């Protein structure tokens, strides 16, 4: 009976399409970064389930060899890729942008392509890339070259098309298989790059960009561009801030944003970025592509970019054929905290008042989660504008209000008091307490200041690019979040170059062109641990029909972070997201401690964990090649480039049942 029920569930989910519970990929492949085009990260496979997951063992390990420790003029590397499985092959990218195809049962390499990027450029987040996309050309026979194409967007700003069978460039695409993405005003090698897989919809391949933070007031354009999948010809471009200074920005070629035309920002702005550096989602039936955007430049001073800065810090639905706006929703007005819309938008269907409602789920670094109607962009759960603290920095005009969803509740801490200062020893606690007392601290959205502001969550807090996964059987959203506090301080331009003004340990950025430079750091005690009590990372299940938390638990441990400490409670910062399966499981690595874990999706109980060769800061995936074959779960284990306490790695690890 269990087998019969499992088969019925599999068939229902596999062929439901965009019906009662969302868009679910049929079959046992994993053809997109988030499995289905809408990024649910859900698999209908049940061979690995609650009853047997404790028996999972390593099936194979593949070492890429692409590791950089930051020496020799290179940035540090991190292995953040999520492989895809199509047509019986695994495809993924390495930190050096090499594309590799593997046999998914044995882990043996079939081919590798090296675009030979310059590894010494100043890529802001280090040497990382999160994966590839594919497109099947139905006009070509299966044995013809480039019948299926594999696309990657590189760190040095190229879009490359490869034949999936051989790994050779598709010569009819652009210039001998590649298109330059460097044709943006203000382009500077390294500062303008790509870290996420492009999106494919219809006969278009769509790319955003990653742009370094806080170097200039007028950073390069955050333009989103669509190219023909066969020829590489530019089909359209869309600029999130079309009224920015033409000296630093490209123009909005769609000319279709009535909201921006009516906005007070219709004067020229000295800004840039607002770029889509994370993963996009697509809805082929509606011909919509959903774009998550980051903050406008510079991140922490907005005096040169007055108004809300639409469409920065937003999720925007674009008509895929034309690039024109269908609707947009801004999660943060006039961002002063680096609160990017970092996760991939997630497309699902929820049950609301006896009706099935297609939605877009979008979170950001605030830890707030917004649920929007997929057709209109209107909030499904109410959102209210609340007054927030105002800036006391000369020249700054902060937004008087910010949008707060009434449900679900915040998934990360929104404020701390001086009494919350923490450390593993009394000396650590006293140091943290002294720091917190000196900072402006009025809760979330307290603006940056000249004296120093406590920011909670910090820019690595809340929901990062790790994103979330949705289980359509239980209408549960699984989210990993960070509780990490930061200090932000603006330094007047006349003082920024003085050594005594830059004596504190942390990150200093010039914000050239603005009247203030920037200092920022995470508040860590002398022990290296955060100045707030654990857990610093949580795994949460949200009932998306009700907008309520079903369960929440600390994820991982930071016991040995920065050295040996007295025993501390669990809960680690995490980078890398979850997946869910019809076997009733949540799989996630992501934490500082190098473990891969499985949880019961209904209760949150940990059912299995395995130690990885290095921390797994990537989103896993799962597949089964045939009905009679084995189900595999795969995770990249290669550490994170910004966490120097972690051991470097280059392993792609596959698990299966014995």
User: Which pair of tokens denotes residue 386?
Assistant: 């609340």
DSSP letter (8 states) at residue 9: H
338 is catalytic: yes
Three-state SS at 514: coil
Q: What is the largest CA-CA distance in the chain?
A: 75
The pairing of beta strand 57-63 with beta strand 84-86: unpaired
User: Which pair of tokens denotes residue 554?
Assistant: 């600390």
Three-state SS at 7: helix
List Cβ neighbours of 8 (8 Å cut-off, separation of 6 or more).
none
Strand partners, 542: 477, 549
Q: 367 vs 276, 370, 456, 628, 658, CA distance in Å?
A: 19, 10, 10, 42, 39
User: Which pair of tokens denotes residue 477?
Assistant: 């959203």
Q: Taking the mean position of all CA atoms in its chain, how far away is CA 530?
A: 23
Strand partners, 548: 543
Residue of 66, 156, 257, 338 marked catalytic: 338
Three-state SS at 288: strand
Query: Rounded distance, CA 336 to CA 126, Å?
Result: 23
Query: Rounded distance, CA 530 to CA 422, Å?
Result: 8
Query: CB neighbours (10 Å) of residue 118?
Result: 12
Specify whether the CB–CB gap between 572 and 593 falls below 8 A. yes
Specify whether the CB–CB gap between 569 and 554 falls below 8 A. yes
The HSE-up count of residue 485 (CA atoms within 13 Å, CB side) is 32
CA geometry: angle at 40 spanning 50 and 467, to 5°?
95
DSSP letter (8 states) at residue 223: -
Integer Rg of the chain from CA? 23
Burial 338-351 (b: 16+ CB within 10 A, else e): bbbbbbbbbbbbbe
What torsion do the CA atoms of 433, 439, 444, 447 make, to the nearest 10 degrees? -170
User: Which pair of tokens denotes residue 205?
Assistant: 């391949």
CA geometry: angle at 432 spanning 429 and 433, to 5°?
85
For the chain, the straight-line distance linking the first and the last C-alpha, in angstroms and rounded, comes to 24
DSSP letter (8 states) at residue 574: B
Query: Rounded distance, CA 384 to CA 406, Å?
Result: 7
Specify whether the CB–CB gap between 220 and 182 falls below 8 A. no
Q: Any idea which residues carry the catalytic annotation?
A: 338
């Amino acid at each position: 009976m269990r087998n019969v029920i499992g088969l019925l569930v599999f068939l229902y989910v596999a062929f439901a399409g965009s019906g009662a519970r969302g868009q679910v990929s049929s079959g046992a492949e994993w053809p997109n970064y988030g499995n289905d085009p809408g990024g649910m990260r859900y698999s209908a496979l049940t061979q690995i389930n609650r009853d047997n997951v404790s028996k999972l063992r390593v099936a194979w390990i593949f070492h890429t060899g692409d590791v950089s420790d930051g020496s020799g003029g290179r940035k540090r590397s991190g292995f953040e890729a999520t492989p895809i499985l199509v047509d019986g092959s695994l495809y993924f990218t390495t930190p050096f942008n090499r594309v590799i195809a593997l046999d998914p049962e044995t882990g043996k390499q079939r081919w590798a392509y090296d675009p030979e990027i310059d590894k010494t450029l100043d890529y802001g987040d280090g040497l990382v890339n999160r994966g590839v996309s594919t497109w099947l050309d139905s006009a070509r026979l299966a044995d013809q070259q480039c019948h299926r194409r594999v696309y990657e967007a590189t760190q040095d700003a190229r879009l490359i098309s490869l034949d999936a069978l051989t790994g050779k460039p598709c010569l009819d695409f652009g210039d001998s298989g590649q298109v330059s993405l460097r044709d943006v005003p203000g382009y500077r090698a390294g500062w303008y790059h790509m870290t996420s897989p492009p999106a494919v919809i219809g006969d278009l391949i769509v790319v955003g960009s990653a742009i370094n933070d806080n170097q200039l007031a007028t950073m390069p354009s955050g333009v989103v561009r669509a190219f023909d999948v066969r020829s590489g010809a530019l089909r359209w471009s869309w600029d999130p801030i079309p009224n920015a200074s033409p000296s630093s920005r490209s123009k909005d070629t769609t000319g279709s944003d009535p909201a921006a035309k009516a906005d007070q920002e219709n004067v020229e702005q000295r800004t840039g970025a607002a770029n889509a550096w994370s993963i996009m989602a697509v809805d082929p039936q509606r011909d919509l592509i959903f774009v998550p955007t980051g903050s406008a430049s510079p991140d922490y001073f907005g005096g040169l970019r007055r108004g809300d800065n639409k469409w920065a810090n937003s999720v925007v639905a674009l008509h895929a054929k034309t690039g024109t706006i269908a609707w947009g929703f801004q999660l943060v007005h006039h961002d002063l905290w680096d609160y990017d819309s970092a996760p991939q938008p997630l497309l699902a269907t929820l049950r609301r008042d006896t009706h099935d409602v297609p939605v877009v789920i979008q979170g950001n670094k605030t830890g707030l989660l917004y649920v929007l109607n997929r057709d209109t962009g209107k909030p499904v759960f109410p959102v209210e504008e609340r007054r927030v603290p105002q800036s006391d920095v000369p020249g700054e005009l902060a937004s008087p209000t910010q949008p707060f969803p009434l449900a679900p509740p915040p998934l990360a801490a929104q404020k701390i008091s001086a009494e919350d200062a923490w450390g593993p020893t009394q000396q650590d606690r006293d140091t943290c307490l002294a720091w917190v007392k000196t900072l402006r601290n009025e809760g979330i959205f307290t603006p940056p200041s000249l004296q120093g502001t406590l920011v909670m969550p910090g820019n690595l807090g809340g929901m990062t690019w790790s994103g979330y996964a949705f289980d359509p059987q239980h209408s549960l959203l699984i989210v990993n979040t960070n509780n990490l506090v930061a200090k932000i301080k603006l330094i007047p331009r006349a003082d920024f170059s003085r050594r005594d003004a830059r004596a504190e340990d942390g990150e200093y950025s010039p914000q050239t062109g603005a009247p203030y430079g920037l200092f920022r750091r995470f508040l860590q005690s002398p022990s290296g641990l955060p100045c707030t009590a654990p857990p610093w990372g949580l795994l949460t299940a949200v009932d998306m029909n009700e907008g309520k938390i079903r369960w929440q638990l600390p994820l991982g441990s930071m016991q040995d972070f920065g050295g040996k400490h007295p025993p501390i409670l669990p809960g680690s910062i995490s980078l890398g997201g979850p997946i869910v399966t019809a076997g009733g499981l949540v799989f996630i690595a992501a934490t500082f401690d190098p473990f891969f874990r499985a949880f019961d999706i209904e209760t949150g109980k940990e059912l299995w964990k395995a130690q990885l060769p290095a921390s797994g800061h990537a989103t896993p995936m799962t597949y089964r090649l045939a009905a009679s074959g084995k189900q595999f779960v795969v995770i990249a284990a290669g550490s994170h480039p910004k966490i120097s306490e972690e051991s470097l790695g280059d392993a792609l690890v596959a698990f299966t049942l014995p």
